[in-house]
Structure 1
Amino acid sequence: MRSEQHTLWLEPYLRDKEVALQKTSRLGEILGQTHGEPSLILFVGKSSKSKALRYLATPLRSKRNGRHCGEIHLRLDAGAQSIQSRRPLLFADGPIPNVENNVRDTEQCSDLEPVSQNLQWAGDDLNGTLSNIYANLLSPFTDIVCLFLSDFGGLASIADFIALWLNNFSNRSLPPFCYPRLLIVVEDSTTTKSDKCWESRWKTKFSRLLRKKTTSPINKAFSYVGIHHLFTNDQIREEFCYLPLKDRLLNESDAVRFSRIEQRMHFVGKHFNAFFDYAYNHFIQNTGKHFNFIRASRLSNPVSPHFKRHLLNFVKQFQTAEEINGFALPVVASCILLDSFPPGMHGFDPVKIFQTLYQTSWRKAMEVFSRATRTAILPIEEVIGELYMTKFVTSREGFKQSHRHTVLSFKDTWKDIHSDSTCLMCLCRRPEYGLPCGHSFCGIDIQRFGTVLDNSPHRFTVQSCFLCSQDTQGAQFGFKPKTKGVNVLGIDGGGVRGVIPLQSLLLLEQKLKPYLPEFPVQDLFDVAFGTSSGGLIVMAMFLNGLPVTECVKVFENLSHKAFDRGFVSSNSIFSRLRELLISYFADSLYSAHNLEEALRTQFGDEVSLMDHSAATSRGAKVGITVTGVPNAELVFTNYNGVGSRLSGSGYRHVLSDDSSNRVRVWEAARCTSAAPWYFRPHHIDGVGTFQDGGLWRNNPIDIAISEARALWPTIVEPDVVLSLGTAMATALHDVQQPRGLWRSGFITRCLESFLSTMDGQKFYDLPNQWNRAAEEIKNRYFRLNTQLQGKTPALDDVSTMAPLKFETRKQYTKSKSLDELAERLISTLFYFELTSRPIRNRSHISCQGQILCIIGPGHKEDGKLLRLLNSLTEDGSKFYVAHRPLSGPINSPANIDPVTKLFRVKVELRIRDLDSLIPISLRIGSNKQSMSEGRNISASRFTVNGLLEAQGWNNPFGRADHGPTEPDDLTRLARECKGASKVAKRRFHGQNNNTPKRRRS
């Protein structure tokens, strides 16, 4: 917003007999058009103050007629060069606390576009609140507090005002010598020259008066008190009278700036604005705690809540002070520096950061050692300071490069240190990805230290282990784009009936074929869970990367091997009795030998769930349900249980704590397929004994959705949810079944009761299992299940696989639900991200963005993207933004980046506010459907606020993954301003801290 628009910044007022405080976006608007590190000067007074500001600052403009008492306005230095200056000078213009008449209705301030919150702790005391705003909200950001003697009516009234300030002051967020300076302006037309003695007399008089008002010393809130003589004379042009005051203000400001620069507490514009927003929220809440700049800088990127546990996991592997000093200390110090200084972070003192955020965890970790050992351990503050100076300040390495070099310097030591419960690269998170050497890393470190692959910002390759430097054979890792939603797949268990979901997937691939020929259907899903046979399918497709056609062959072959009884079975009572006796005495009807041999062949003997796989190369999260013996509801996953889950989820993850006891893929498959009666439970050394997950969740789709929310907490609902069943039976109630010992006996009833619990369709049909009440959410959920007449086939009846495949194809070949599902999946290949920050205009907010596609140069066949775009264009498909079509064909050459070859469609947005819902959809085949049937692209409908948060642009102090926090043009601007503090320091060098020198702006 330009400077000629309203200047109102803060205003306390009465609302419902309670003080409320409004804050407009004025500060951000000013700093958005300036460079460098701002200085704030607070003017408090009446007419004399306003007269001075007419010559020092840009004009005051309010959006209302007249000015209400209590308003604090914010203006820029009147000099035309201020916007381009490396030290923009800001003037806050506030009244003397005497605002009894400032009682208004909320309707009177509705045109201010403010953030307004009640101060429940303030009651109805407007004067006390205004003084509190000065003393505790504005003070940490202010260089000078300037008071005009004539406005207050005398020095005694100023002493009253400052005494109230000192009594209210509780914000010790800065060192005392960084506190603002107090400057009292004395207007006098008789005195032609002021000297040190003149100023000293006034200061002595003021100190004497202040001591009568309060016992608090002046240095409790101010670093210096000065008296400025403002000479007024009718024979001199009025604006010239204020030039000496301007010089004095600039020199006093330089003194404060120099002190804050020395303490690393002086901020660039975007940090200044962000800190003030945090301080405003802190002031509103009035928690009783001091505002802390270091803690505030980590509000959007907090220190891991598990850092203490991970630090303890690491240090307890060592026994002696020599090991700690020689290895652990440098590694921990480097990890702390890496976590403390992501790109964009303010350059705080690293030792103070440690003392504020990490010291408690370090002291707790040191308690595992004896007193003698602790005494011999070097102070970690010294190690942090030395590492900061040698690696960053002296060598000018970035913190990421410095950390990489530090840990690699111990590569031989790392070969004997492994952990699957703590990422040893950062000591902040649980690892998710295992490498061949046995080390494992979190996703953040894969993104920070990996190499971007094929120009795609979401795919990385790791050529060698970050710790021991062992070759990884080119392991690749994919990550979901931050503004993309998720598609979820769940496959029921059902023994040989697993051919039904496989046929459903084949039919889905056929529907997708005109647009995505030879595109693996599993690449359309971000999360996939399976139970029993469904688990085998999920692991084969996602972990091994097998196409569906190959999965069908593998599954049928495995079924024939697993369900080979070694004798001819029949329905006679003697055959059933033999099965019962075998199952009872052998603990299973079938030997596990054939099943295990087939699983080892398919998944490998030593491949673990954490190892690199086809799933990790594209970022898919895979899980299977199992049941612990004797009774526990558990899941195995390929991501080591990472994520944020609410307590009471009802199930637990089977976790790996060390590379030596990782769960191998074939064993996980063996556990989930160990259906009681058919196969005995499977025991994994050091982990536990497990059996079929269908005993507690044969339909795992709700687990898959729950895990998607745990992995990406900002996603409210998935884009597409596909649940695949393994047949549902239509009971023949009109046929009376004859009773008999075998047909309706106790054992048969128990077995049928167990099989009934494994009916995934019953679970899906239960009310309140899904958040599907809203119509716009219902159409995201799909359930494909083949309906059979009579009972469903037995889990081991391999003779029914061919008829089941035929029946499935018969029922779904012309299914409209498959058509809709295919269209929705195609639409979710596209997602939207911002390319500029929103700009507020008078009637709307505008911003720019782009529609992207997850198919890009990272896929093996370069023609897949072009084939998709050409097919969409040929049938008249179009993107719609807010129900308006985008011009031009989808396959336009302008939509392909000439360098990266990525798909990008530029979009201009005009919205009412940042929380307005924005729909972007894809109409596939415009001649076939109405606009109402357009399919939302991924994560649509979204808000600009949501996009800013997802893209990390609300993190002005940096992101954990070291990703961008602003558009490229703003990043360049920040780099241009990096030298601002050096300029201020050079200018002030040699000046006395208490004796101002006159200067011209």
Structure 2
Amino acid sequence: MGPILAWCHRARERRRHRQTLYSFPHLPALFRQACKHVSKVGEDPFNPIIASRYQNLVPLTLLSFLKVLGPGQFRHALQLVASSIAFNAIPTGMHAFAPLCIFDTLYRRPCETALRRAQISSPVTSLEHIRSLVQNEMRLLHNYLGGSVEYYRDTLKRGWGPLRKPLSDTVCFGCLAQFPDRRLPCRHSFCEICFEVFGKRCTNQPYTFHILECMICLARFDGIKVHIQPPTAGARILTVDGGGIRGVVALTSLIRLEAAISHIVGVKLPIQEHFFDLAIGTSSGRRGYDSVHPGHTNRPALGSLIALRLFSQSWSVDECLRQFIRLANKTFRRRPYRTCVPILCHVIDYIYSFAADSQYSADGIEEALKEVFGAEQDMCRTDNNRTKVYRARCTSAAPWYFSPKTLTGLGTFQDGGLWQNNPTSIGLWEWPHVCPDAGEPDLVLSLGTGSALYTQLSIDRFPIRSPHPSRSNGPVRRNSFLLRAYRSYMYLLDGEPAWQRLLGGLPLRRRNRFYRLNINIPGREPSIDDTTEIPGLCENGPPIHALNATAWAMIASLFYFELERPPVYGQWVYTCEGQIRCRLGIGSRRLILEGLARQQARFVRCGEALSGGYVFTVRFTVIDLRAEVSIDLHAPHEGSRPIGGSPFTVHGLVQRQRLYCPFGSANHLKRGPQALLLVPPAKRQRGDPHGAGRAEP
């Protein structure tokens, strides 16, 4: 036994010297990755450093950072680059690989490319300097007793120096590895991961973080909260059709919807604060995020700005309606000569509008926007050419009504309704880019701005042409190709057919997530500039049954399910334990649960009511980690509505919550011992008394 022990000892020392002495659970995780590598890649050698990052890829926005550096700032910035790479390379729980091997494997090529594209005078020398600095930073980080987060926090506080002035919104200056999501009042922008790492987590809201100071300029804040999307909950998307003054229809629908929710739960919950993660609109609305107060935006604003007011300005829906009416009256002001020359006003109006390329002066809408939002509120992230709110009227520049808007460095813009008057499909496309890890949306609410009844419209849209044109001048002129083309084009601008086309392309299982509130307008739709129609439009509202169905769906979307720990495998099944959580704070949460109890609503899992009323802890077993499990909110006479993220699979929950991250995660979250998560084979094993693929009651 002596020689064998000696050989084992020497082998262990060699691995320790090469920093390849793996511990549990690193070794089984690498073994699993090695098996996958051999079965898929072929002859390429297995690299344990690359395999250790399969759950935490290497995003690096170094090029964006280097491009915004001024003269004389590059040398000082190299230390920050090295610290950022070290912090990204060694998350909490990562195996201690050799620092130079980590850099050469993961970061050398991105750094080399960034230095070359940034036109650094000596990229080779700078690269070797960064390599040396990274090696030193990794050693210091390993030896720092306070942990990697505290070490990097101290590095940020002392390292920025002359770079404390905001330089760009295209890179997170906290980690240099992500694109920023939100901007603090000091104008420094950070990604969600940095807010999660350096913020103070709220006790009763696990995805809300208090930001006490800026990590760069050390400016102190009071009352700033950052809300992060729960990983197991889906998106809630609000879209608003275009329509000029008919935007009051969408606001009226929101007011009635808010009242319906208040009637159900017994407490008023402002829609703009609790129910939507992304709002996007055309002409009467615009795109914004409800993730931080105030909201974050990065594209030019749209016309009358319903979504901007609700989510960026945090106005109430009632206040938004009042301001909308005032803005509409100010925007669509008649030119002075209209009252001076009554007989020829229409002729002069057409001539003047043709010459000016617009029917209304843009001064009215720009003055109104500056009055409401101020001229200095940024609406998009462009490094050196910030777009102001009053300039961002560009997508409300409807042809004939307003002239197009030209923004330096961005281009010329006109009404977005010409392309997508119902922007729901744009919202569905946009959300995965905003939150790449998000799954299917939990709720999509489309607000219409009124639609004419289709009986007469269908006759006008597809007329029967006379076989003898010379004998029927009236119908022929009415059905000329120009008028038919015009009617077809106006039909394309109608948001209702676009909604029907969208639903028709969705699988049946997803359609219960999509809701639309709209009203039917007798006769023809009002012109987008006819402010005299506003009072009549405000009197109408969506059907009561549509309001109630949407209200229950929105209430159900406030809840989501999370596992408390990884599932435990035994006796041929996985035992799972988790909680139904609520997005609201503890005070509002208690009130809404009391209101639901009065409505006799209950949570239901896979068709079976959960015992204990509103006890949030849920225990269940599944045979297959990929079997679907559903949790719904069921109310008498209203049916069931899925909660956020439902239906789900246990395997998906584990991945989204990162419960099994043997090599750490980007947020440097400390976890207990990582159990080896086993995935059962697809076929049923001998002796298994159950069939695979179904959840146990």
Structure 2 length-normalised TM: 0.85
- Out of 120, 138, 149, the residue aligned to residue 388 of structure 1 is 138
CA distance in 1, matches of 2:174, 2:120: 27
Other-structure match for 1:961: 667
Tell me the amino acid that sits aligned with residue 827 of structure 1: A
Deviation track 1:614-656 (CA, whole Å, cap 9, x = no partner) reads xxxxxxxxxxxxxxxxxxxxxxxxxxxxxxxxxxxxxxxxxx3
Measured against aligned partners, the alpha-carbon deviations of 1:290-324 in whole angstroms (never above 9, x if no partner) come to: 111111001111111xx2xx32333355588x754
What SS does the aligned partner of 2:648 have?
coil
Deviation digits for residues 921-980 of structure 1 (CA, Å, limit 9, x no counterpart):
1112x4x35xxx22111111100000001101243211112235x5x5x3799xxxxxxx
The reply on whether 1:682 has 2:405 as its aligned counterpart is yes
Pair 1:608-2:391 in alignment? no
Higher mean Cα deviation, 383-392 or 797-806? 383-392
Q: Does 1:432 align with 2:181?
A: yes
Matched with 1:853 is: 582
Aligned to 1:889, the other structure's residue is in SS state coil
Q: Name the residue aligned to 2:685.
A: none
**SS state at 1:692 partner:** coil
CA contact (8 A) 1:483 1:951 kept: yes
| Separation (CA, whole Å) in 2 of partners of 1:285 and 1:740 | 68
Q: Name the SS of the counterpart of 2:207 in structure 1.
A: strand
**Aligned residue in 2 for 1:311:** 62
The answer as to whether partners of 2:197 and 2:668 remain within 8 angstroms in 1 is yes
Question: Higher Cα Rg: structure 1 or 2?
Answer: 1
Equivalence for 1:772: 506
Higher relative contact order (CA 8 A, sep 6+): 2
Q: Distance in 2 between matches of 1:762 and 1:573?
A: 40
Against the structure 1 CA distance between its residues 408 and 378, is the aligned structure 2 distance closer, same or farther, given a 3 Å change threshold?
farther
CA contact (8 A) 1:573 1:742 kept: no
Query: Per-residue deviation at 1:369?
Result: 5.6
Does residue 634 of structure 2 align to residue 865 of structure 1?
Answer: no
Are the structure 2 counterparts of residues 377 and 867 from structure 1 closer, same or farther at C-alpha, using a change threshold of 3 Å? closer
In structure 2, the CA distance between the partners of 1:888 and 1:314, relative to structure 1 (3 Å rule), is: closer
Partner AA of 2:317 in structure 1: V
How far apart are residue 773 of structure 1 and its match? 2.9
Question: What residue in structure 1 maps to residue 271 of structure 2?
Answer: 521
Task: Give 1:402 shift.
Answer: 2.0
Residues 1:796 and 2:529 aligned together: yes
Cα drift, residue 371 of structure 1: 6.7
Map of 2:324 onto structure 1:
555
Cα RMSD over matched residues?
A: 3.1
1:354-378 Cα distance to aligned partner (Å, 9 max, x none): 0111112223334356776854886
1:479-521 CA-to-partner distances (Å, cap 9, x unmatched) read 1111111111111000111111111111111210131622111
What amino acid does structure 2 have at the position aligned with 1:432? D
Matches within 5 A, 1:502-581: 502-514=251-263, 515=265, 517-522=267-272, 523-535=274-286, 536-566=305-335, 574-581=344-351
User: How much has 1:349 moved relative to structure 2?
Assistant: 1.7
1:739-888 superposed matches below 5 A: 755-766=490-501, 771-774=505-508, 776-806=509-539, 808-809=540-541, 811-812=542-543, 815-857=544-586, 862=587, 864-888=588-612
The whole-number CA distance in structure 1 between the counterparts of 2:546 and 2:594 is 25
- Measured in 2, the distance between the counterparts of 1:819 and 1:487 equals 17
Q: Give the aligned partner of residue 631 of structure 2.
A: 920
Check whether the contact 1:391–1:397 (CA below 8 A) recurs between aligned residues.
Answer: no
Q: Which amino acid aligns with 1:533?
A: S
Q: Please say if residues 337 and 384 of structure 1, whose CA atoms lie closer than 8 Å, have aligned partners that are also in contact.
A: yes
Could you tell me how far 1:720 is from its partner in structure 2? 1.6
Change beyond 3 A, Cα 1:318–1:691: closer
CA displacement at 1:907 relative to structure 2: 0.8
Task: Give the secondary-structure state (helix, strand or coil) at the position aligned to 1:513.
Answer: helix
CA deviation after TM superposition for structure 1 residue 473, in Å: 5.5
Tell me what 1:89 maps to.
none
Specify the SS of the correspondent of 1:533.
Answer: coil
Aligned residues: 642
How far does residue 690 in structure 1 lie from its aligned partner after superposition? 1.7
Q: Name the SS of the counterpart of 2:206 in structure 1.
A: strand
Q: Does 1:906 align with 2:586?
A: no
Given the superposition, is the C-alpha separation of residues 319 and 460 from structure 1 closer, same or farther in structure 2, using an over 3 Å criterion?
closer
Instruction: Indicate if the aligned counterparts of 1:880 and 1:921 stay in contact, CA closer than 8 A.
Output: yes
Secondary structure in structure 2 of the residue aligned to 1:502: helix
Alpha-carbon distance between aligned partners in 1 of 2:156 and 2:33, rounded to the nearest angstrom: 35
Structure-2 change in CA distance of 1:378 and 1:773 (3 Å): closer
What residue number does 1:952 align with? Answer: 658
What secondary structure is seen at the aligned counterpart in 1 of 2:580? strand
1:884 Cα offset (Å): 1.8
Q: Distance in 2 between matches of 1:783 and 1:319?
A: 50
Aligned to 1:953, the other structure's residue is in SS state: coil
How many Å separate the matches in 1 of 2:232 and 2:647?
11
Maintained 8 Å contact 1:418/1:438: no
1:710 corresponds to: 433
User: Aligned partners of 1:376, 1:608: CA distance in 2, in Å?
Assistant: 35
Is 1:302 matched with 2:57? yes
Give the deviation of 1:854 after TM superposition: 0.5
Q: Distance in 1 between matches of 2:434 and 2:390?
A: 25
**Where does the alignment leave 5 or more consecutive residues of structure 1 unmatched?**
1-244, 611-655, 896-904, 974-1001
Counterpart residue identity of residue 942, structure 1 = F
Matching residue's letter, 2:397: A
CA deviation vs aligned residue, 1:536-580 (integer Å, no higher than 9, x gap): 11111111111111111111111111111045579x994433332
Q: Does 1:404 align with 2:139?
A: no
Query: Cα distance, 1:738 vs. partner?
Result: 11
Letter in 1 for 2:53: R
Decide whether aligned partners of structure 1 residues 573 and 277 sit closer, same or farther in structure 2, where only a CA change above 3 A counts. Answer: farther
Does the Cα contact within 8 Å between 1:330 and 1:406 map onto a contact in 2?
no
- 1:463 equivalent to 2:215? Answer no
How far off is 1:342 after superposition? Answer: 1.1
Q: Distance in 2 between matches of 1:370 and 1:607?
A: 34
Any conservation in 1 of the 2:68–2:167 contact (CA below 8 Å)? no
Looking at structure 1, the residues matched to 232 and 602 of structure 2 have their Cα atoms a distance apart, in angstroms, of 21
Q: Provide the rounded CA distance (Å) in 1 between the counterparts of 2:506 and 2:77.
A: 51
Q: For 1:750 and 1:663, how far apart are their aligned partners in 2?
A: 36
| Letter paired with 2:600 | G
Tell me the distance in 2 between the aligned counterparts of 1:313 and 1:935. 44
Give the Cα–Cα distance (whole angstroms) in 2 for the partners of residues 569 and 521 of structure 1. 42
CA change 1:597–1:744 in 2 (3 A) is farther
> Does the 8 Å CA contact 1:452/1:459 hold for their aligned counterparts?
yes
1:373 to 1:850, Cα distance in 2 relative to 1, 3 A: closer
Percent identity (aligned):
34
Change (3 A) 1:274 1:879: same
Q: CA deviation at 1:391?
A: 4.6
The CA distance in 1 between the partners of 2:188 and 2:157, in whole Å, is: 13
Paired with 2:58 and 2:328, the residues of 1 have a C-alpha distance of 49
Aligned to 2:79: 330
Give the whole-Å Cα distance in 2 for the aligned partners of 1:742 and 1:726: 31
8 A contact 1:529–1:704 mirrored in 2? yes
The Cα of 1:266 is off from its aligned counterpart by 1.3
Q: Please tell me whether the aligned partners of residues 562 and 595 of structure 1 are also in contact (alpha carbons under 8 angstroms).
A: yes
Q: Distance in 1 between matches of 2:266 and 2:235?
A: 19
Displacement after TM superposition at 1:439 (Å): 2.6
Residue 789 (structure 1) shift: 2.1
Q: Which runs of 5+ in 2 are unaligned?
A: 287-304, 464-471, 677-697
SS in 2 for 1:914: coil
Q: Is the 8 A contact 1:921 1:935 kept in 2?
A: yes
Distance across 2 between alignment mates of 1:532 and 1:411:
42
**Structure 2: distance between partners of 1:528 and 1:685:** 26
Structure 1 residues 412 and 328, CA, compared in 2 at 3 Å: closer, same or farther?
closer
